[in-house]
Amino acid sequence: MAYQPEDKQPNIADILENQATIRSEAEARVGVFKAMPARQRNDLVTKSSLLSNTLEGKQWADLTDAQRIEVFNTLEQINAALTKAEDERVVCEQKKRPGSNMIMKSCKTVAQLREQREDSQKFLEENGICKGHLNCVPGQ
């Protein structure tokens, strides 16, 4: 169960129950964990345990915005590992708007972030970076 920013509040009890099931199946090496490499399985159990420790005994309203985003991102990482869909994993972050103290939330898939990074690199390679106005030559 993944938290979608700006949607209704997730049920922490459901998340904790789901994470307990994931950990027990991982430790028993059943289901999707049967063929999963030990390192990936251990990493998943560690993330699940840390997530459960963060949420244990809390209500959604008790979490800060930063904690909510961290919970969301961790749930997405766990889900991506279980479904083998890393490119579809959603990553959220909080940033201040340029020239403002207003904080905005931004969520994109790993594939979108990679495409954005590749487009930026391509633009820089094609247009070059100008260090001064007089000696500005594209492509250098």
Pairing between strand 103-109 and 90-96? antiparallel
- Residue ranges per structural domain of the chain: 12-127
Q: Over range 9-22, report the average pLDDT.
A: 94
Q: What is the pLDDT of residue 1?
A: 43
Summarised one tens digit per residue, pLDDT across range 75-99 is 999 998 888 877 777 888 888 888 8
Q: What angle do CA 20, 25, 31 make, to 5 degrees?
A: 140
